């Protein structure tokens, strides 16, 4: 039975040296016993472990990071924590990284490239071993800083022609186009769109409209509202759309949450779905339409994106030299056709 720790030894200004004294070995040996136990004899390991427990020592990673030039820190930037669309990604990312012994510095950019730039400068001071960014829109200064930092960078939730480094996501253009084609095939013609002013949402919207245009559908009323995406945004969007002359057959939404707001508003107006109004969403599983399980949607696997992003980073950490193996993972999407269309 393990002994209890000594009664509240002292402050956390304990160092390797203190532990070394207690264990009767050199500081370096303590360091090894802690971080590379395979390099140390069983006996030493036990002595050190006991000394650590007895003193309540916690290794100082600031010093360790400075000396080894490795921080075991990964920065994650995302627009907001309020939108559950990124929650799965972050959770998966953090789970995997934590498991691998890394910690995560979170930065909320609020969909602003300028804010991202400011955060980036602050965060790079911590010398993170890697960075995960959401999306591919960054200021020129950000790109420069990132290049200078020389650490692995993952851009998640998007694919792009000019990646900074690694890419894990899917093509928003493809989503828009596929959605358009699918809905055209089902016979819809009077389209409308509700989107928040998020760059990726707008890009999906643009290629949707481009594809519609190629098929002769040119008049597409579109409501762009300010983030964050809430149910209320959906309600408001639909109200506005219905206030116009040509009422739409179908409304394509930039997120499931918005789509649910639309469905709620439609219900409260006695509109039948999909006869009077069809609705299309977009999102990952967790925000999937459970209030209205019948919501058709373009589904994206947020956890998968997070996990792949983590893997990509960890892989790079293991083989720091393999600089020129470009990583570009298309995580794809699935169009789920349900009763709302």
Partner DNA sequence: CTGTTAGCGCCTTCAC
Partner DNA sequence: GTGAAGGCGCTAACAG
Residues of this chain that interact with DNA (CB under 7 A) are: 13, 15-17, 25-29, 31-32, 34-35, 39-41, 43-44, 59-60, 63-64, 66-70
Checking 10-14 for CB contacts under 8 A at 24+ apart, the result is: 12/56, 12/58, 14/55, 14/56, 14/57, 14/58
Residue 327 dihedral angles phi and psi, to the nearest 5°: -105, 125
> What is the rounded end-to-end Cα distance, in angstroms, of the chain?
64
Q: Per the structure block, which two tokens stand in for 254?
A: 């930039």
Closest CA to 298 of 314, 287, 309: 287
Q: Which is nearer to DNA, 26 or 322 (CB)?
A: 26
Closest to DNA by CB, 34 or 154: 34
* Subset of 130-149 contacting a second copy (CB under 8 A): 144-145, 147-149
Torsion angles phi and psi, residue 49, rounded to 5:
-55, -45
CA 250 to chain centre: 29
Q: Residue 246 corresponds to which tokens in the numbers above?
A: 């040509």
Please identify which residue in 54, 61, 202, 220 interacts with a second copy, judged by CB under 8 A.
61
Position of tokens 């990132």?
146
Contacts with 196 (C-beta within 8 Å, 6 or more apart), sequence order: 224, 225, 226, 227, 228, 229, 233, 254, 255, 258
Q: Is 65 in the site for a second copy (CB under 8 A)?
A: yes
- Count of residues binding a second copy (CB under 8 A)? 60
Query: Among DNA, a second copy, none, what does residue 84 contact (CB within 5–8 Å per kind)?
Result: a second copy
- Helix H segments across 126-246? 140-149, 172-185, 199-214, 231-242
Q: Does 164 bind a second copy (CB under 8 A)?
A: no
Return the closest-CA partner of residue 338 out of 280, 266, 267, 290: 280
174 binds, among a second copy, DNA, none (CB under 5 to 8 A by kind): none
Taking the complex as a whole, the smallest distance from the CB of residue 43 to a second copy amounts, in Å, to 24
CB-nearer residue toward DNA: 70 or 334: 70
In the complex, what is the shortest distance from the CB of residue 250 to DNA, in angstroms, rounded to a whole number? 56
Residue 28 interface partner, choices a second copy, DNA, none, CB cut-off 5-8 Å depending on type: DNA
DSSP label of 27: H
Q: Residue 25: name its binding partner from a second copy, DNA, none (Cβ under 5 to 8 Å by kind).
A: DNA
Residue 321 binds a second copy (CB under 8 A): no
Q: Which of residues 98-117 bind a second copy (CB under 8 A)?
A: 98, 101, 103-108
Q: Distance between CA 156 and CA 175 in Å, rounded?
A: 16
The binding site for a second copy (CB under 8 A) comprises: 5, 8-12, 56, 58-66, 71, 80-82, 84, 87-88, 90-91, 94-95, 98, 101, 103-108, 119, 121-127, 144-145, 147-150, 230-232, 235, 260-261, 264, 286, 290-292
């Amino acid at each position: 039975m393990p002994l209890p720790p000594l009664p509240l030894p002292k402050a956390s200004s304990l160092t390797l040296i203190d532990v070394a004294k207690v264990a009767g070995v050199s500081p370096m040996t303590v360091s090894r016993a802690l971080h590379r136990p395979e390099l140390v004899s069983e006996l030493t390991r036990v002595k050190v472990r006991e000394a650590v427990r007895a003193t309540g020592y916690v290794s100082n990673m600031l010093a360790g990071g400075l000396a080894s030039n490795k921080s075991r820190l990964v920065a994650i930037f995302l627009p907001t924590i309020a939108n559950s669309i990124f929650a799965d990604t972050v959770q998966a990312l953090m789970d995997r990284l934590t498991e691998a012994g890394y910690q995560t510095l979170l930065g909320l950019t609020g969909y602003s490239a300028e804010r991202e730039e400011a955060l980036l400068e602050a965060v790079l001071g911590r010398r993170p071993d890697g960075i995960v960014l959401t999306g591919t829109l960054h200021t020129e200064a950000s790109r420069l800083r990132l290049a200078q930092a020389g650490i692995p960078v993952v851009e998640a939730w998007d694919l792009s022609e000019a990646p900074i480094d690694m890419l894990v996501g899917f093509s928003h253009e493809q989503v828009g186009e596929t959605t358009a084609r699918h809905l055209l095939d089902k016979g819809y013609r009077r389209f409308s769109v509700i989107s928040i002013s998020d760059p990726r949402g707008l890009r999906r919207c643009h290629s949707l409209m481009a594809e519609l245009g190629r098929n002769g559908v040119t008049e597409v009323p579109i409501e762009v509202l300010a983030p964050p995406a809430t149910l209320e945004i959906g309600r408001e969007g639909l109200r506005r759309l219905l206030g116009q002359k040509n009422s739409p057959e179908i409304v394509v939404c930039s997120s499931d949450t918005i789509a649910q707001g639309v469905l709620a508003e439609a219900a409260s107006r006695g509109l039948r779905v999909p006869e009077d109004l069809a609705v299309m969403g977009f999102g990952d599983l967790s925000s999937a339409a459970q209030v209205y399980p019948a919501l058709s949607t373009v589904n994206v696997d947020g956890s998968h994106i997070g996990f792949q992003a983590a893997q990509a980073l960890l892989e790079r950490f293991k083989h720091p030299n393999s600089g020129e193996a470009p990583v570009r993972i298309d995580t794809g999407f699935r169009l789920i056709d349900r009763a709302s269309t």
